[in-house]
Amino acid sequence: MAGFLPKKKQDFHKIPNAKVAIVAAMWHPQFVDAMVDRAIAEMVDAGVNRDNISVHTLPGSLELPLAANMLFESDPELSAVMAFGVVLQGATTHDASVLQTVVEGFGQVSLKHNKPIINEVIGVTSLDDAAARSDDSESNKGLEAVFALTELLHWQDSLAKG
């Protein structure tokens, strides 16, 4: 794992005006749901109104960039999208192509709408890896996603203020 976050969670920026959509893949729901639940709890701690957080479950990780694009197009007030999925390495290279396609898709959508997409679609070599990234510790990718979200939205707000 990458290690610890550069900030303690009590030092995360508050983002009370944020409106965030979460897109989540259906595969490996025990891990994906744990990351989503942690992200929601951490966003609420960062001041986001629970009513301004929506969760959308899609068949798999490949569908998440399309979903993000559709969400940005349907709601101009949306501040950001967070994405969660688990892609398990297998005997073929399918996992690598899925991850590459997802990353490229998120990049295109983010630039098209000029809004952040926090990508926590994780590639793992075992389900133990997924469990370690979705447990109750600071290694949970939901916490990491909220760190990135609060930093980006705070920075974006500072640009707007000049």
Q: Looking up tokens 């992200």, which residue turns up?
A: 39
Question: Do the beta carbons of residue 4 and residue 37 sit within 8 Å?
Answer: no
Q: Does domain 18-161 have CATH number 1.10.357.140?
A: no
Roughly how many angstroms between the first and final C-alpha of the chain, as a whole number? 37
Q: 11-41: per-residue pLDDT in tens? A: 999 999 999 999 999 999 999 999 999 999 9
Give residue-wise pLDDT tens across range 98-141: 999 999 999 999 999 999 999 999 999 999 999 999 999 999 99
For 151, the 3-state DSSP assignment is: helix
Which residue do the tokens 């707000």 mark?
A: 157
Question: What is the reported pLDDT for 3?
Answer: 58
Q: Which of 28, 94, 113, 154 is catalytic?
A: 94
The residue type of 50 is: R
- What residue ranges do the domains of the chain occupy? 18-161
Residue 94 designated active-site: yes
